[in-house]
Structure 1
Amino acid sequence: MSLVINHNMMAMNASRNLNASYGSLATSTRRLSSGLRVGTAADDAAGLAIRELMRSEISSIHQGVRNANDAISMIQTADGALQVIDEKLVRMKELAMQAATGTYNSDQRLIIDSEYQAMASEVSRIANSTDFNGIYLLNGNLSGQISDHEGTVLAPSGPIKIHFGTGNDSSEDYYYIAIQTATASGLGLGHAAGTKVAADGSALSFAQANAGKTVSTQGMAQTAMDAINQAIISKDKIRANLGSLQNRLENTITNLQIQAENLQAAESRISDVDVATEMTEFVRQQILTQSAVAMLAQANSLPRMAMQLIGG
């Protein structure tokens, strides 16, 4: 290499190496300070795209867990109200038993019936007022087969859709929760209960057709006991269905949490920096940077040798 003044090639080479080492040192500093191996698209374009997809899945799964927990809270609200209704039904059966015996007269049965009707009214009040976040649970609004609880109407009705999956195209992504009515009339009790008909279409006696409406007579009280038993069975079916759904949702939450944990581990392997490896690279680039600075200083002093030949 010739000794020249206009172009100091050694200094240019040292400067280029310094820029490269300093840039790598800055990258290592950014990774170590942020904890991320992939901080920009330039770090790993494919890895960044995969990571962002994983992050969206993880966020969706976490929201699915919250949705499922909200559904469990809703089920527990309904079950708590049904537990109180159960107490009222037990008292109604006790009153029917009391009125069914012949040791009471008509006036006394009317007094018993007064409490019986009060219990029926309280059952209806509880069923009509039990709500979760503005959704009424026991008034029959969530019963039926076709669900409008999918955001298509302003006043939805039918089974409520609990969405916890990351998609919306299969039954694995959601459950439908249907809750039958638990009002007194829906259970066939009290003055508001409808007239009963035989399953085979045969004629029923007056007491049988109006079973459960009142206990004001001994005969009506006797038939009311069967109606109350059926009401208790209907109520228990609702609670059993809610309990099984709660168990399913709890299992779903466990599965979603495991799924989110494994996705988080995969995302971490793509995104997070290996501190030990990156620290080794940081030290290497630091040494190269210091060496390049030292060599650049030496290279910048080389043109002075030309001045000695000129006689300066």
Structure 2
Amino acid sequence: MSLTINNNLMAQNAARNLAQSYGRLGTSTERLSSGLRINSAADDAAGLAIRELMRAEISSMRQGIRNANDAISMIQTADGALAVIDEKLIRMKELATQAATGTYNSDQRLIIDSEYQAMASEITRIANATKFNGIYLLNGNLSSSAANAANWGGDHKGEGLNSTGPLKIHFGPANSSAEDYYYIAIGNSTASALGVGSSANRGAKSAPHLEESAGYSISTQQGAQQALDALENAILSKDNIRASLGALQNRLANTITNLSIQAENLQAAESRISDADVALEMTEFVRNQIITQAAVAMLAQANSLPRMAMQLISG
């Protein structure tokens, strides 16, 4: 290599190597400071795309877990109210049994019936007042005409600002009905829907073998006797609602467990793609740091070489 003044090729070569090693040192510093192997698309374009899709799915799953937990809270609210309604129905059956015996006169049965009607009114009040986050649970708004849970979605209408019909619980990251959501239907639990009390439809039969409005009143001995069967049917109807809610609560708990496992495994996969290996990056950092320091030293030496030409000229 010739000794020249205009072009110092050794210095240029050292500067180029210094720029490369300094760039790698910056990359190692960025990865160590952020903890991520991929900080921009330039680091790994395909890896970045996969990571962002995984992050979106993980976030969606975690929100799905919160949605399922909210649904469990809603179910517990409804079940608690139904437990109080259960107490009222039991008391009403006790009163009907009392009024059905012949040892009471008409005035006494009217007194008993007044409490019976008060219990029915309280059942209706509880059913109409029970709500979760502004959603009324027991007044029939969430009921479905389909007995099979698989067909509850047919009564759901979610096009408007306020959805109607069975409640749609969405917990999955996509929109497949089989894997990502299902419906919760809660039957009407008012006294009239259960067929008891003065608000019951007097033209309807509580059961095929009963006379009309069997649970309407216990002011007569015959009415009290018929009310026993109506109350039995009302308790069974209420129990069916509670059993359905209990099954849905268990299903939601299993859904939460499954989503938690999925999110955890997906997070592990995302970590393997995105996170920096600190031990490896620290090794690279030290290596690049040493190379950078050496390049700086060599650049300083290369910059001093033209002085040798000046010595020849001045000599």
**What is the TM-score normalised by the length of structure 2?**
0.94
- Listed as ranges, the gaps of 5+ residues in structure 2 are 146-153
Identify if the C-alpha distance between structure 1 residues 198 and 115 changes in structure 2 by more than 3 Å, giving closer, same or farther: closer
Residue of structure 2 in register with 1:282 after alignment: 285
Aligned residues of 1:165 and 1:173 also touching (Cα < 8 A): yes
Shift of the alpha carbon at 1:147? 3.2
Residue of structure 2 in register with 1:37 after alignment: 37
The answer to whether structure 1 residue 119 and structure 2 residue 119 are counterparts is: yes
Secondary structure of the corresponding residue to residue 169 of structure 2: strand
Aligned residue among 133, 153, 160 for 1:153 = 160
Shift of the alpha carbon at 1:210? 2.0
**What is the TM-score normalised by the length of structure 1?**
0.95
Aligned ranges 1:90-129 → 2 under 5 Å: 90-129=90-129
The answer to whether structure 1 residue 257 and structure 2 residue 260 are counterparts is: yes
Secondary structure of the corresponding residue to residue 200 of structure 2: coil
Identify if the C-alpha distance between structure 1 residues 149 and 71 changes in structure 2 by more than 3 Å, giving closer, same or farther: farther
The answer to whether structure 1 residue 24 and structure 2 residue 24 are counterparts is: yes
Aligned residues of 2:206 and 2:230 also touching (Cα < 8 A): no
**Relative to structure 2, which stretch is displaced further, 298-307 or 117-126?**
298-307
Deviation per CA, 1:184-205: give whole Å up to 9, x if none.
00000011112334977xxx77
Residue of structure 2 in register with 1:171 after alignment: 178
What's the C-alpha RMSD, in Å, of the aligned pairs?
1.4
Amino acid at match of 1:268: S
Secondary structure of the corresponding residue to residue 308 of structure 2: helix
Deviation per CA, 1:176-231: give whole Å up to 9, x if none.
0001100000000011112334977xxx77xx212111100111001101110110
Residue of structure 2 in register with 1:85 after alignment: 85
- Measure, in 1, the Cα distance between the counterparts of 2:225 and 2:164: 37
- Measure, in 1, the Cα distance between the counterparts of 2:301 and 2:164: 83
- Listed as ranges, the gaps of 5+ residues in structure 1 are none
- Measure, in 2, the Cα distance between the counterparts of 1:309 and 1:210: 125
Aligned residue among 204, 207, 210 for 1:196 = 204
Aligned residues of 2:206 and 2:213 also touching (Cα < 8 A): no
Q: Which runs of 4+ in 1 moved over 6 A?
A: none
Amino acid at match of 1:37: R
- Measure, in 2, the Cα distance between the counterparts of 1:130 and 1:209: 29
Shift of the alpha carbon at 1:87? 0.5
Aligned ranges 1:284-299 → 2 under 5 Å: 284-299=287-302
Aligned residues of 2:195 and 2:206 also touching (Cα < 8 A): no
- Measure, in 1, the Cα distance between the counterparts of 2:206 and 2:52: 63
- Measure, in 2, the Cα distance between the counterparts of 1:270 and 1:29: 19
**Relative to structure 2, which stretch is displaced further, 168-177 or 41-50?**
168-177
- Measure, in 1, the Cα distance between the counterparts of 2:104 and 2:21: 103
Deviation per CA, 1:252-307: give whole Å up to 9, x if none.
00000000001100110111000000000000000000000010111111111111
Shift of the alpha carbon at 1:154? 3.6
Amino acid at match of 2:288: Q
Identify if the C-alpha distance between structure 1 residues 78 and 297 changes in structure 2 by more than 3 Å, giving closer, same or farther: same
Shift of the alpha carbon at 1:148? 3.5
Shift of the alpha carbon at 1:155? 4.2
Shift of the alpha carbon at 1:156? 2.9
Aligned residues of 1:149 and 1:161 also touching (Cα < 8 A): no
Amino acid at match of 2:170: H
Aligned residue among 183, 205, 211 for 2:190 = 183
Q: How many residues align?
A: 306
Residue of structure 2 in register with 1:238 after alignment: 241
- Measure, in 1, the Cα distance between the counterparts of 2:51 and 2:305: 50
Residue of structure 1 in register with 2:223 after alignment: 220
Residue of structure 1 in register with 2:271 after alignment: 268
- Measure, in 1, the Cα distance between the counterparts of 2:31 and 2:89: 67
Residue of structure 1 in register with 2:214 after alignment: 211
Shift of the alpha carbon at 1:169? 2.7
Shift of the alpha carbon at 1:149? 4.6
Amino acid at match of 1:170: S
Shift of the alpha carbon at 1:96? 0.4
- Measure, in 2, the Cα distance between the counterparts of 1:215 and 1:199: 17
- Measure, in 1, the Cα distance between the counterparts of 2:163 and 2:24: 59
- Measure, in 1, the Cα distance between the counterparts of 2:178 and 2:117: 43
